[in-house]
């Protein structure tokens, strides 16, 4: 599933820069929610600075904004919607493993031969990459500069790191549209789009925040002997809270995923009113087939089980992990409709649905 969530994109004119706190240049643009990037200026030069290019990185990455990449290799499905939102789909010319893509626009481009499949992600086919001659690659790295990215840079192709996956807030991650806006010379459009998304998200948050009844929520499923579920500071947990729910692990301070025993989750979550997020288990029959103990939970018995499988691409990709990160206002709307349908009586969910 991580392959559906994380990715690579592109720029021009990259260089490693000093830590943000040591910089003597001025910040020239406001980044309100995102913690992982900012903009700086030195005289007439403008820079995009990624503060933590990969988890626990000790140095930032500083990119000179001296041109607009025209031919881009993108390897994260979660980044593709930003290109669509900025009307820049034609900029993306390569992607590793096209089967992950849900977007009809990019599937059409692939079928027309305008988007090259670069092979398995994590080990892109260098021959194919060099063959399409991109202007830049925008990349993600989960824990230190990878061999593949080093080879790309050695080949003379600029690599720009995008670490939006480290953001802990829904609006923080969505604000990375400004990262792409800067690269594509569409900053005003990016600012305008994000401003509307943030405005709607905050309106919905205030709407749900006024409810007195906050139903309890359980999430995740078992893999092997381990139940994986969002930590209390996880992106998903923030949505549950902002939608007017009471996530049972909300007091936890983990920003990633908790790995608990079935017994530990059962003890705390057996009586939860809602079960939201069941990974690739898209029916209650599938759930019970994987582990018959699921049927003992209150939410399961009452049919209050929901998953983000309403929009699945032709090759099985979940659109939630593609466009959901860029549209937190829609995700929040879905969850409010799930928990408090009376607040949004006319709304039809986009990603989440009640599974049977």
pLDDT reported for residue 142: 86
148: nearest Cα among 128, 166, 165: 128
Alpha-carbon span 46 to 252, nearest angstrom: 40
Evaluate if residue 308 carries a pLDDT over 50: yes
| Segment 241-277, tens digit of pLDDT | 999 999 999 999 998 899 999 999 999 999 999 999 9
Tens digits of per-residue pLDDT, 74-93?
989 999 999 999 999 999 99
Question: Can you tell me the distance from the alpha carbon of 311 to that of 350, in angstroms, rounded to the nearest whole number?
Answer: 7
CA atoms within 13 A of residue 41's CA, in its CB half-sphere: 7
Q: Which residue has the tokens 């995008």?
A: 162
Q: Is the pLDDT of residue 176 over 60?
A: yes
Helix or strand (DSSP H, E) at 54: none
Element (H, E) at 217: strand 216-218
Looking at residues 104-119, what average pLDDT do you find?
95
Q: How far apart are CA 83 and CA 322, in angstroms?
A: 12
What pLDDT score was predicted for residue 22?
38
Q: Tell me the pLDDT band of 38, cut-offs 50, 70 and 90.
A: very high
Angle between helices 328-339 and 235-242 (to 10 degrees): 50
CB–CB of 145/124 below 8 Å? no
Distance (Å, whole) CA 353 – CA 185: 37
Local confidence band at 69 (pLDDT 50, 70, 90 cut-offs): confident
180-220 tens-digit pLDDT: 999 999 999 999 999 999 999 999 999 999 999 999 999 99
% pLDDT > 90, the chain: 81
287 to each of 88, 109, 309, 321, how far by Cα in Å? 40, 36, 14, 21
Confidence band for 70, pLDDT divided at 50, 70 and 90? confident
Q: What is the pLDDT of residue 145?
A: 63
pLDDT attached to residue 301: 98
Please, what is the angle between helix 328-339 and helix 187-209, to 10°?
A: 20
Separation of alpha carbons 119 and 117, rounded Å? 6
Are residues 192 and 177 in contact, defined by beta-carbon separation less than 8 angstroms? no
User: Which residue spans of the chain are classified as CATH 3.40.50.1980?
Assistant: 2-197, 212-354
Condensed to tens digits (0 to 9), the pLDDT of residues 113-159 reads 999 999 876 678 999 999 999 999 988 998 866 788 889 999 999 99
Tokens 């849900």, residue located? 102
CA-wise closest residue to 220 among 299, 143, 167, 166: 299
Residue 237 predicted with pLDDT over 70: yes
CATH of region 212-354: 3.40.50.1980
Please choose, from the candidates 200, 265, 274, 266, the residue with its C-alpha nearest in 3D space to the C-alpha of residue 244: 274
Question: With 80 as the cut, is the pLDDT of residue 29 above it?
Answer: no
Radius of gyration (C-alpha) of the chain in whole angstroms: 21
pLDDT attached to residue 319 = 96
Distances (CA, A) of 265 to 1, 17, 220, 223, 230: 22, 44, 10, 13, 12
8 A C-beta contact, residue 339 and residue 275: no
What average pLDDT does the chain have?
Answer: 90
pLDDT score, position 146: 76
Res. 28: pLDDT tops 80 = no
Neighbours of 173 (CB within 10 A): 22
Lowest mean pLDDT among 19-33, 137-151, 172-186: 19-33
pLDDT bin (cut points 50, 70, 90) of residue 345 is very high
DSSP 8-state secondary structure symbol assigned to residue 144: S
| pLDDT tops 60 at residue 15 | no
The answer to whether domain 2-197 has CATH 3.50.50.60 is no
pLDDT at 27 over 50: no
């Amino acid at each position: 599933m991580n392959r559906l969530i994380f990715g690579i994109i592109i720029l021009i004119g990259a260089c490693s820069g000093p830590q943000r706190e040591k910089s003597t240049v001025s910040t020239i643009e406001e980044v309100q929610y995102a913690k992982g990037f900012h903009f700086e200026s030195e005289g007439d030069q403008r820079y995009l600075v990624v503060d933590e290019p990969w988890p626990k990185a000790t140095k930032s990455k500083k990119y000179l904004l001296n041109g607009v990449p025209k031919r881009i290799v993108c390897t994260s499905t979660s980044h593709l919607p930003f290109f669509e939102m900025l009307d820049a789909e034609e900029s993306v010319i390569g992607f590793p493993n096209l089967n992950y893509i849900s977007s009809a626009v990019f599937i059409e481009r692939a079928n027309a031969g305008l988007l090259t499949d670069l092979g398995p992600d994590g080990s892109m086919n260098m021959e194919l990459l060099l063959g399409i001659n991109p202007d830049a690659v925008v990349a993600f790295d989960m824990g230190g500069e990878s061999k593949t990215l080093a080879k790309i840079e050695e080949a003379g192709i600029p690599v720009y790191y995008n670490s939006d996956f480290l953001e802990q807030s829904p609006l923080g991650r969505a604000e990375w549209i400004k990262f792409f806006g800067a690269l594509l010379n569409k900053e005003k459009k990016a600012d305008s789009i994000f401003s509307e998304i943030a405005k709607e998200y905050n309106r919905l948050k205030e709407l749900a925040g006024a409810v007195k009844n906050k139903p309890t929520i359980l999430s995740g499923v078992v893999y092997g002997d381990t139940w994986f579920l969002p930590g209390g500071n996880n992106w998903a947990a923030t949505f549950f809270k902002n939608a007017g729910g009471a996530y049972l692990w909300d007091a936890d301070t983990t920003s990633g995923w908790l790995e608990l025993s079935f017994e530990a989750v059962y003890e705390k979550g057996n009586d939860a009113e809602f079960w939201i997020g069941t990974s690739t288990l898209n029916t209650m029959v599938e759930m019970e087939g994987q582990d018959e103990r699921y049927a003992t939970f209150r939410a399961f018995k009452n049919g209050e089980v929901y998953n983000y499988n309403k929009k699945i691409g032709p090759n099985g990709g979940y659109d939630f992990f593609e466009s959901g990160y860029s549209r937190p206002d829609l995700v929040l709307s879905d969850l409010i409709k799930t928990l408090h349908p009376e607040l949004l009586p006319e709304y039809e969910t986009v990603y989440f649905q009640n599974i049977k």
